[in-house]
Amino acid sequence: MMRMIPGQFRTCSRRELLRAGSLSWLGLGLSGVLRGQAQGSGSTTSRPIRGVILAFCPGGPSHLETFDPKPDAPLEIRGEFDTIATAIPGVRFGEHLPRLARAVERMTLVRSMRTTSPVHELAVHRLLGGVDEVPPGTGVAASRKDQPHLGAVLAATQAAPQGVPHAVILPTNLTFEGAVFPGQNAGFLGPRFDPWHILGDPTEAGFGPEALELPEGLSIDRLNRRRSLLKTVDEARQGLDRLANSTPMDEFRRQAIAIVTSRTCREAFDLEREDPRARDRYGRTLMGQGLLLGRRLVEAGVPLVQVNLGESNVWDTHEKNFERHRDILCPPFDLAVSALVEDLDARGLSDEVLVIVTGEFGRTPRIGQPIKGGAGAKPDGRDHWPSVFSSLAFGAGVGRGQVLGASDRLASFPTTESFTPADLGATILEALGIDPTIEIHDPLGRPLPINRGRPIPWS
């Protein structure tokens, strides 16, 4: 069973690089990997919205217990739950999502998503990279051969926002038996474009900006003195840089310094600044406080925030499918996502922030049905099912109260036009002002298409 690890709250990518010296404070010993690995004519446009929140449900939620129940199917398909009416006439949800059933009038429901792998690691890699197939040679553990996370593509193609990272993933890390899932970093683009990966529990009282402190022994004053020294070194090197006709590599180090010393960034992470009533409305859970933090970060200027929504071994319900959905998964999910819908509307952000809620695949239509390539299912569980699943979207550019696509009477396959991780990736890239048709170059200079999908027609 896959796991989500909420370790000590930390900025994994940048802080570990700082500790290891890969972003040496004096710029010594930098690697020779060239900048500008993302190339193409008209590769970016001005970002038309404030940002995107990807509310990711790792493990694969059961569409039959959530957004695509089949009340008229046989018991071994429909399962134990009743269904409830929603604000969209004729559309029903699983009984344990009452708030989302009311809020769906502000959303688009997609019932014909599909992917190409029943394996968590491979399906997650596709979803987070926005592709339908991953580069040859990539596997089930993260490596620098992987397809870049969409946030890494953003970092490689657009100028850095002021005082905040391009992309943040929080509050957990996806692993299995100690191996980190691929698709969560910059892959072949290199570590300088990694999203900031924040691990921790935002429900804890000690959670806050102190978690963004610099590595041990490096105070803000000391950092500023080193930054002054860096400026002197840079000035001495400018002539050589011009002669070499190369762009200095120190920009990325400066960005890291600017972010970790940024008041904007530190305040955005400080949930103690939030109205306690808002925190209660989202729910004092990993899901609730994670989505609230996602809203705060996007509002502060982070273009892409991925919030992993999971409690107690996530949505991977090979056993106790109904018990886990009823008691552990649906209640905090229903509360948190519906709160985000209302919060964005109340703050006037519904036209500025795109939110996508999705897992990497669905669950088997038949209870207790194992599939080839899956991980099995107990008599009260559902195995992995890549052939069809459901997603939600709301906010900027998304039509309200509509349903895209449909599955068959057993929730087994799409009966209409289907949508894939590549389509979802194209949607996110376009929303962030990135042309999905551009090419990016791997470390060997080989051009690779950034995306082969088509943006989902929300309206």
Kindly report the CATH number assigned to the domain that includes residue 430. Answer: 3.40.720.10
CA 58, CA 225: separation in Å to the nearest integer?
Answer: 43
Banded pLDDT at 256 (limits 50, 70, 90): confident
- Asked whether residue 15 is assigned to any structural domain, the reply reads no
- Asked whether residue 322 is assigned to any structural domain, the reply reads yes
- Asked whether residue 7 is assigned to any structural domain, the reply reads no
Lookup: tokens for 360: 């990497």
**With contact defined as beta carbons under 8 Å apart, do 407 and 433 qualify?**
no
**With contact defined as beta carbons under 8 Å apart, do 135 and 146 qualify?**
yes
Q: What is the DSSP string of 252-313?
A: HHHHHHHHHT-HHHHHHT-GGGS-HHHHHHH-SSHHHHHHHHHHHHHHHT-SEEEEE--SSS
CA nearest to 280, candidates 202, 344, 210, 339: 339
Q: Are strands 353-358 and 51-56 parallel, antiparallel or unpaired?
A: parallel
- Asked whether residue 152 is assigned to any structural domain, the reply reads yes
64-80 tens-digit pLDDT:
999 999 999 999 999 99
Percentages of the chain per state (helix, strand, coil), in multiples of 5: 35, 15, 50
- Asked whether residue 253 is assigned to any structural domain, the reply reads no
Domain that holds residue 164: 38-205+272-449
Q: Are strands 439-441 and 38-39 parallel, antiparallel or unpaired?
A: antiparallel
Q: Which residue has the higher pLDDT, 244 or 316?
A: 316
18-37 tens-digit pLDDT:
333 222 222 222 222 323 33
CA 226-229-235 angle, to 5 degrees, is 145
Q: What is the pLDDT of residue 34?
A: 28
**With contact defined as beta carbons under 8 Å apart, do 363 and 388 qualify?**
no
Q: Which helix (H) or strand (E) holds 196?
A: strand 196-197
- Asked whether residue 404 is assigned to any structural domain, the reply reads yes
How many residues are listed for the chain in this entry?
A: 459
Q: What is the pLDDT of residue 220?
A: 56
33-45 tens-digit pLDDT:
323 334 433 455 4
Q: How many domains does the chain have?
A: 1
- Asked whether residue 9 is assigned to any structural domain, the reply reads no
**Whether the predicted pLDDT of 247 surpasses 50:** no
- Asked whether residue 223 is assigned to any structural domain, the reply reads no
Q: Which residue has the higher pLDDT, 294 or 249?
A: 294
DSSP summary character for residue 328: I
Percent of the chain with pLDDT over 90: 64
